[in-house]
């Protein structure tokens, strides 16, 4: 490559790196928006009109009056003052503002990189897929908010999980492209091969665990049992009664959801030990450092999960738990990437 092409690739890499940071940041803000029960403070989509926040008392009162029409205010926050409303409003506002920034920051440069014809189409193609995910995420975000405007005081935990998983797919895809550019490779994530399966399975179960984490958050299921290692006085929640096999799939049951989230964490931890034995037995020396990073983050995540639970769901610990979850995804992806040929 000539000097101009090198500079363009550096610009392309930096653009993706900043995009990854922005998505990482919006995941944190989104988590805090949920933890502060702020996600329903703006009851309209306002794709363009809501870019500028309220600047006078009349506009503030208008937003507040609209919020008063939904069940969350009527059943939960009926004594809320305007100043208290402003706090939850700004969490949701910054979340949406960041979403707009990410959409513009990703889509416009991508078009320019595409028409430059200087960036390998292998990377551009993946970036167009990411842009589609970003656009889809905007609609899913509003689809999620709508679920809490009519009958519920919070959003659907299913839609919350979908919203979070889409965000993780976006940030994971950006991470993969960055790894490819940095290593000057064209590795494909979804390549099926027997030697890849142990690492692909790890990523799958981490994503499933994150879905259950979203269920716990969406249902406030962490408030049911705040003891560890037992759930109250027993391993299995004593307020759940198994009458038929289908009861095991009752994903509206708060106790059962917390049980699944706890035990899937144990499973991932022990699977990490199995993976360690596998890597060292197969003498995959190039994975040793990445494996140690993964095990470190996994251990921190397990500890944060326990401490968050017994702390009466301290908001800062809960947010750190979510951040560590994203870092765990990165470390698992990195481990898998280094194993792919």
pLDDT for res 46: 80
Q: pLDDT (tens digit, 9 = 90+) per residue, 269-290?
A: 999 999 999 999 999 999 999 9
Contacts of 99 (CB under 8 A, 6+ apart): 26, 137, 138, 141
Coil, helix or strand for 231?
A: strand
Same domain, 181 and 237: no
- Residue 48: CB atoms within 10 A of its CB come to 7
Do residues 103 and 221 both lie within one domain? no
Task: From 98, 80, 11, 1, select the one nearest 41 (Cα to Cα).
Answer: 80
- pLDDT band per the 50, 70, 90 thresholds, residue 9: confident
pLDDT band at 268 (very low <50, low <70, confident <90, very high): very high
Domain with 222 in it:
189-341
CA distances in angstroms from 22 to 98, 105, 164, 322, listed in the order given: 8, 9, 15, 16
| Secondary structure class of 234 (helix, strand, coil) | strand
Mean pLDDT of the 128-133 span: 97
**How is residue 20 written in tokens?**
């990854």
Record the tokens describing residue 245, joined without a space: 């096999």
> Total domain count for the chain?
2
Q: What pLDDT was estimated at residue 333? A: 97
175 and 142 within one domain: yes
Give the other-Cβ count within 10 Å of 149's Cβ: 15
Last residue of a domain, one of 186, 215, 242: 186
Average pLDDT over residues 124-142: 95
Last residue of a domain, one of 169, 186, 203: 186
- Give yes or no: residues 129 and 212 share one domain: no
The pTM assigned to this predicted structure is: 0.94
Determine the pLDDT at residue 1: 60
In a 13 Å sphere around the CA of 324, the CA atoms on its Cβ side amount to 22
Residue 37: which region, alpha, beta or left (left: phi > 0; alpha: psi -120 to 50)?
Answer: left
The candidate with the shortest Cα–Cα distance to 148, out of 37, 222, 255, is 37
């Amino acid at each position: 490559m000539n000097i101009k092409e090198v500079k363009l690739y550096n610009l392309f890499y930096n653009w993706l790196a900043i995009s990854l940071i922005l998505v990482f940041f919006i995941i944190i803000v989104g988590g805090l928006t949920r933890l502060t029960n702020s996600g329903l403070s703006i009851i309209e989509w306002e794709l363009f009109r809501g870019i500028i926040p309220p600047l006078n008392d009349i506009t503030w009162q208008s937003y507040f009056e609209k919020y008063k029409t939904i069940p969350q205010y009527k059943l939960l926050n009926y004594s809320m003052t305007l100043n208290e409303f402003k706090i939850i409003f700004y969490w949701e506002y910054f979340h949406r503002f960041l979403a707009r920034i990410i959409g513009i920051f990703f889509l416009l440069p991508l078009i320019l990189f595409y028409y430059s014809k200087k960036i390998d189409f292998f990377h551009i193609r993946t970036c167009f897929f990411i842009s589609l995910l970003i656009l889809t995420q905007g609609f899913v975000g509003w689809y999620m908010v709508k679920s809490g405007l009519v009958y519920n005081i919070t959003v659907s935990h299913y839609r919350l999980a979908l919203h979070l998983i889409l965000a993780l797919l976006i940030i994971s895809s950006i991470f993969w492209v960055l790894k490819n550019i940095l290593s000057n490779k064209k590795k494909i994530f979804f390549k099926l091969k027997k030697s890849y399966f142990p690492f692909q399975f790890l990523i799958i179960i981490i994503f499933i665990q994150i879905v259950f984490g979203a269920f716990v958050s969406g249902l406030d299921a962490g408030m049911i049992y705040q003891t560890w290692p037992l759930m109250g006085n027993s391993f299995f929640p004593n307020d759940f009664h198994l009458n038929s096999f289908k009861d095991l799939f009752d994903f509206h049951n708060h106790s059962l959801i917390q049980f699944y989230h706890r035990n899937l964490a144990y499973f991932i931890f022990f699977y990490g030990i199995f993976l360690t034995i596998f890597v060292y037995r197969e003498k995959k020396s190039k994975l040793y450092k990445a494996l140690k990073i993964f095990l470190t983050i996994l251990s921190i995540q397990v500890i944060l999960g326990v401490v968050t639970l017994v702390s009466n769901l301290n908001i800062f610990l809960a947010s750190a738990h979510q951040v560590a979850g994203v870092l765990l995804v990165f470390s698992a992806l990195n481990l898998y990437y280094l194993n792919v040929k």
